[in-house]
Amino acid sequence: DAQVYDDAWITNAAEVSDDAKVFGEAHVFGDALVSDNAMVFNNAEVCGNAHIFGDAMVSDNAMVTINATVCGNAHVYDDAWVSNNACVTSNARVFGNATINGDAVITDEASVCGYSTITDNAMVYGNTEIRGTAYIGDDAIVVNAVIEGNTSIIGEAEIGKTSDYILLSPIIRNETLLQHSSLSLTFYKSKHGISISGDTRSCYTYGEFIKLLHEKIHDKKLLRRYKKVMRFAKKMIK
């Protein structure tokens, strides 16, 4: 039977059923449902129509909210946040300060940690590891790869292995081509061939980025250096 004990509490229309357990100082409220053999404990919060089921666990200071689902043998912990129709399932792990939202799916043996964000219909699966301050969004698919640093992978990316992307530092310190950019540039495989992103807002095809270089850079020597870097990145992504 379901158990709620210690200083845990449930309120409103929330429900804990089957053999689920809520304990520690965990909170389950709103229209949330915790069922099957799921466990919510420590200071975790589950609310906003979220559903935790199967053998899933939500613990520490994690929050699962706004129609999100955690199921299978998945574990969400530390200060992770899962919301907005996102799904964490199978044996996936989401921890650290990671954020999963916007219909994103994390499944299989995938793990997401650090300050990484997975959003906007992105799918992360296989033995993928996402860490650092990586940003994965816009229908990106990442499988069996290690993504780290301040990588930005957006715009229908198709990453099937770690060598499908490369993160490069700026050519000149404190110099950036893109507004809001983290200065670094990420080159990666996508449905459009090689795509390039410097932030979470914009991405370019290889050809579009060449055009941008000519628009933004009037120093011929610097332009040649950028093109050399681009050729190197393209060669590295096989």
Cα–Cα distance measured from residue 1 to residue 97, given in angstroms and rounded to the nearest whole number: 32
Output the CA–CA distances (angstroms, integers) from residue 90 to 22, 107, 120, in the order listed.
21, 5, 20
Burial of 158 (0-12, 13-18, 19+ CB in 10 A): middle
pLDDT more than 70, % of the chain: 93
75 versus 200: the higher-pLDDT residue is 75
Using alpha carbons only, how large is the chain's radius of gyration in Å?
21
pLDDT for the residue numbered 178: 57
Query: With b meaning 16 or more CB within 10 Å and e meaning fewer, what string describes 97-116?
Result: ebbbbbbbbbbbebbbbbeb
The pLDDT of residue 189 is above 90? yes
Write the pLDDT tens digit of every residue in 112-130: 999 999 999 999 999 999 9
Tell me the one-letter amino acid at 147: I
Q: What is the Cα–Cα distance from 147 to 166, expressed in whole angstroms?
A: 9
